[in-house]
Amino acid sequence: MTQTRAETLAAHFVSMRSRDLPETRIERAKVLLLDYLGVALGGSGTASGKVAAEFSARQGGRQGATIIGDGRRVPPMQAAFSNAIASHSIELDDVDILALFHFSPPVVSAALAVAEETGASGADLLKAIALGCEMMSRASHAANFSLRDRGFHTTPTCGVFGATVAAATLMDLDVDQMVSALGLAGAQASGLMEMYGPSMQKRFNPGPAARNGVTAAEMAKLGFTGAATIFEGERGFLAAFTDESDAEALTRNLGTDFPDEFEYKAYSCARPIHNAIDCALDVRSHLDEPLSNITHITMRRHSKWARYHDNKRPQTYHEAQVSLPYSVAVALIEGAALFPQYSNDKLSDPEIQRLSDLVEIVVDDSLPRGVSCLMEVTTSAGGSELSSQIDHPKGSIENPMNRDEHRAKVRLLAEPVVGAGGVQQLFDAVDALESAGSVSALVSAVVPGTQA
């Protein structure tokens, strides 16, 4: 009898042992985990992060897992929920190579919460992260770009499957239970792209995905069964969320191809805007006249992203973080685009608004990548023009952040919450994670006031 996609995936994930994973995957999982913890600590102090933490704490229940940056212990489902929201609250979380989704908010949030409660080893946590990210990436490859173009947000819709595999791996589900968990994950898949406004809407999306992944795994562990045809069935995930899909991508080259390469954010905004920021910073470095001389800015974008991020008058920092014109303007003026550049008090700055108004987005399908940007700046000094094209932004696989740059990012975000000692403890805990018998030192490092 032919196996369903869920059955094939379940057999693959359950059979994997830590020793089966290439060292490169373990190292990538460690870097992802460190980046996630720094970003979650930074996000824990935002309004969205604080509301999520308070909500989780009010639900009661067993004290199995820790809210990052807060310290209160709650059931793993609730910790996964609030930590996923915190880690998505400052737009500095990792991203896939197509800039469609963020791995860590759903996957790592679920994995860390379950690892803490189950007493899992550091190696077990890293394996769960690696497998969960593989599942999420395979789901996206099978469903996109159709899923995105229909208005669904990839991070939660595909992330719930990744969160489920990560949680199920740590709960030691067998193959039949893993199949059921994937079915139950599909029943909870959700998330809309109607999120680019002044509200906290976008921050919320990975929360239910992380929580639902833990729910699916725990329900399956208890004996609740789910649909084995959840992916390719007549009314399954691909039929419901896409007009065109590639079901084969779910299982293609299992065991030999690991489609979970991570890119990282150097700027505190939506990833497809990063190319534009790099263009702006490049132009800024070559501009030998005042910014006040700029009279026009053309930003050429591929049609895959040209109709996104064109808000020239963001009303909140949430909205500014998904505004290409604002991001270009603030990068030109301040030479940076980190979280401080997206504070609400900058939104009414006259020069930021003037430069934002000058940005014209033009569709250009001759650009080599969906996220490529070509920026052309005209000045009043004789109509001179500067241009810059960026195909691979800082933090991408082709243009990576080095170890020192990445750790500087984590330190910037984490130190205000846990102090310099806490940051060093965090670095040490991640570095030693493969040999750690539990994740207790790691969790201690992300709770204020508990550092040695």
Q: In three state form, how does the secondary structure of the chain look?
A: CCCCHHHHHHHHHHHCCHHHCCHHHHHHHHHHHHHHHHHHHHHCCCHHHHHHHHHHHHCCCCCCEECCCCCCEECHHHHHHHHHHHHCCCCCCCECCCCCCCCHHHHHHHHHHHHHHHCCCHHHHHHHHHHHHHHHHHHHHHHCCHHHHCCECHHHHHHHHHHHHHHHHHCCCCHHHHHHHHHHHHHCCCCECCCCCCCCHHHHCHHHHHHHHHHHHHHHHCCCCCCCCCCCCCCCHHHHHCCCCCHHHHCCCCCCCCCCCCECCCCCCCHHHHHHHHHHHHHHHHCCCCHHHEEEEEEEECCCCCCCCCCCCCCCHHHHCCCHHHHHHHHHHHCCCCHHHHCHHHCCCHHHHHHHHHEEEEECCCCCCCCCEEEEEEECCCCCEEEEEECCCCCCCCCCCCHHHHHHHHHHHHHHHHHHHHHHHHHHHHHCHHHCCCCHHHHHCCCCCCCC
| For helices 76-87 and 104-118, angle between their N-to-C axes, nearest 10 degrees | 150
Q: 45-51: long-range contacts (C-beta < 8 A, 24 or more apart)?
A: 45/69, 45/416, 45/417, 46/86, 46/89, 46/90, 46/203, 47/200, 48/85, 48/86, 48/89, 48/200, 48/203, 48/204, 49/82, 49/85, 49/86, 49/89, 49/203, 51/200
CA distance linking residue 361 with residue 385, whole number of Å: 17
Q: Is-above-0.85 flag for pTM?
A: yes
Closest by Cα among 147, 155, 159, 154 to 110: 159
What's residue 392's pLDDT?
A: 96
CB 155 within 8 A of CB 270: no
What's residue 104's pLDDT?
A: 98
Question: Could you report the per-residue pLDDT of 37-87, keeping only the tens digit for each?
Answer: 999 999 999 999 999 999 999 999 999 999 999 999 999 999 999 999 999
Tokens for 224, please give them: 């609740």
What's residue 451's pLDDT?
A: 60
Q: Which positions of the chain have pLDDT values less than 50?
A: none
CB 231 within 8 A of CB 238: yes
CA distance linking residue 176 with residue 179, whole number of Å: 5
CA distance linking residue 140 with residue 121, whole number of Å: 29
CA distance linking residue 44 with residue 75, whole number of Å: 18
Residue ranges and CATH numbers for the domains of the chain are: 5-266+403-444 (1.10.4100.10), 271-390 (3.30.1330.120)
CA distance linking residue 384 with residue 407, whole number of Å: 39
What's residue 322's pLDDT?
A: 93
What's residue 452's pLDDT?
A: 57
What's residue 258's pLDDT?
A: 85
> Both ends of the chain: CA-CA distance in Å?
57
What's residue 382's pLDDT?
A: 65
CB 65 within 8 A of CB 442: no
What's residue 323's pLDDT?
A: 96
Question: Could you report the per-residue pLDDT of 391-426, keeping only the tens digit for each?
Answer: 999 999 999 999 999 999 999 999 999 999 999 999
What's residue 409's pLDDT?
A: 96
What's residue 174's pLDDT?
A: 98
Exposed, middle or buried: residue 77 (CB in 10 Å: 0-12, 13-18, 19+)?
buried
